[in-house]
Amino acid sequence: MAGSGTGSVSEMTSAPTSAGLPRGQQVLAFVALTKPRIVELLLTTAIPTMFLAAQGLPSLKVVVAVLIGGTLAAGAANTFNSVYDRDIDALMERTDHRPAALGTISVRAGNIQGAVLSVGSAVTLFWLANLISAVLAIVAILLYVVGYTILLKRRTSQNIVWGGAAGCMPVLIAWSAVTGSLTWTPVLLFMIIFFWTPPHYWPLAMKYREDYERAGVPMLPVVKPVTTVTTNIVAYGVIMVLFSLALIPVAPMGWVYSIAAVVLGLLFMGQTVLLYRAARSQTGDVLPIAMRLFHGSITYLALLFLAIAIDPFVS
């Protein structure tokens, strides 16, 4: 298994640092450290949550707070993750191009960026929203950096399950920014994303199984047979759909979300069962089906939260 996140230093010192890059490339390298595509996905859940919390349009001040504060928090967590995981990222084809893995961003520079973004997130949310949303942003960063990156990722096959909790925090931050409190509705939104994360990520881990094995990361597809992995995917998918349906009476939700939750849930479960059957039959390549589920899971979450955003206006 890979070390404590401090490996490959000798290799990185031979690579050009950010100081040796043109200004434009320096900026792009520091931005890449924040993993912008992941940040986009997090905001996809935060914005509809604000509409639901406000039962319409939230104030512009709160929207700005969540967009800026949430982006900074996610960028901070991803920056710390990129720096700490630079040794294993350098060993995997999917991640070996990342700035910290290449050594184009120094450890010191990366950690400074992470710290600055963390403080900026907390200050923005406290100033423009409230204390609870600022505290939740810091908790989200700590969950991802300490809980997932440092403690769990290299030690347990359930890493992505518990690490995924950090990715659920934007809905709590968004709800608390609008209302100043937390209720069962944002908790259910949290649980939907929590149980969505494993069936979303494990299909991708199946594709890059050799990458994770080479890096010593015990992702579930590395340490368990594909039949076990697909069984877990189905199980988590079922629980996720149940939580999405539980939101209907608890929120309560109108007909737009109710129809979307049922239809999207059936389609999602259909994809998980298809992958499960392919793994059980042991005929043909399951990876194309796994990747369809991976991409389909992104579509599922985006459309489900789009329905959450629309529902308050229609209802």
Query: Is 9 contained in some domain?
Result: no
Q: How confident is the model at residue 36 (pLDDT cuts 50, 70, 90)?
A: confident
Identify whether residues 35 and 124 lie together within a single domain.
Answer: yes
The mean pLDDT of 102-125, rounded to a whole number, is 95
pLDDT band at 2 (very low <50, low <70, confident <90, very high): very low
Does 10 reside within a domain? no
pLDDT at 27: 86
User: What pLDDT score was predicted for residue 22?
Assistant: 66
193 and 54 within one domain: no
Last residue of a domain, one of 153, 178, 203: 178
Whether residue 283 sits in one domain with residue 255: yes
Residues 172 and 193 in one domain: no
Q: Are residues 214 and 288 in the same domain?
A: yes
Segment 283-307, tens digit of pLDDT: 778 999 999 999 999 999 999 999 9
3-state per-residue secondary structure call for the chain = CCCCCCCCHHHHHCCCCHHHCCHHHHHHHHHHCCCHHHHHHHHHHHHHHHHHHHCCCCCHHHHHHHHHHHHHHHHHHHHHHHHHCHHHHCCCCCCCCCHHHHCCCCHHHHHHHHHHHHHHHHHHHHHHCCHHHHHHHHHHHHHHHHHHHHHHCCCCCCHHHHHHHHHHHHHHHHHHHHHCCCCHHHHHHHHHHHHHHHHHHHHHHHHCHHHHHHHCCCCHHHHCCHHHHHHHHHHHHHHHHHHHHHHHHHCCCCHHHHHHHHHHHHHHHHHHHHHHHHHHHCCCCCHHHHHHHHHHHHHHHHHHHHHHHHHHHHC
Where a domain ends, among 178, 201, 225? 178
Percentage of the chain surpassing pLDDT 90? 78
Provide the pLDDT for residue 284: 72
Q: Please indicate, yes or no, if residue 153 is contained in any of the structural domains.
A: yes
- The pLDDT of residue 14 is above 50: no
Q: Are residues 238 and 251 in the same domain?
A: yes
- Establish if 18 belongs to a structural domain: no
Q: How confident is the model at residue 238 (pLDDT cuts 50, 70, 90)?
A: very high
CATH number at residue 280: 1.20.120
For residues 131 and 193, state if they share a domain: no
Range of the domain at 219: 183-315
Q: What is the CATH number of the domain that holds 49?
A: 1.10.357.140
Q: Per the structure, how many domains does the chain have?
A: 2
Residues 190 and 287 in one domain: yes
pLDDT at 11: 39
213 domain residue, yes or no: yes
The pLDDT mean for the chain works out to 91
Q: Does pLDDT of 8 surpass 50?
A: no
Asked if residue 250 and residue 155 are part of one domain, the reply reads no
The predicted pLDDT at position 178 comes to 97
Q: Is the pTM of this model over 0.85?
A: yes
Does 232 lie in the same domain as 165? Answer: no
Q: Is the pLDDT of residue 25 over 90?
A: no
* pLDDT of 78 higher than 80: yes
Residues 205 and 132 in one domain: no
pLDDT per position as a tens digit, 130-183: 999 999 999 999 999 999 999 999 999 989 998 889 889 999 999 999 999 999
- Answer whether residue 130 is part of any domain: yes
pLDDT tens-place string over residues 42-62? 789 999 999 999 999 999 999
The answer to the question of residue 295 being in a domain is: yes
Q: Please tell me which residue, 310 or 23, carries the higher pLDDT value.
A: 310
Same domain, 132 and 189: no
In a domain, 140, yes or no: yes
Which of 178, 202, 232 corresponds to the end of one domain? 178
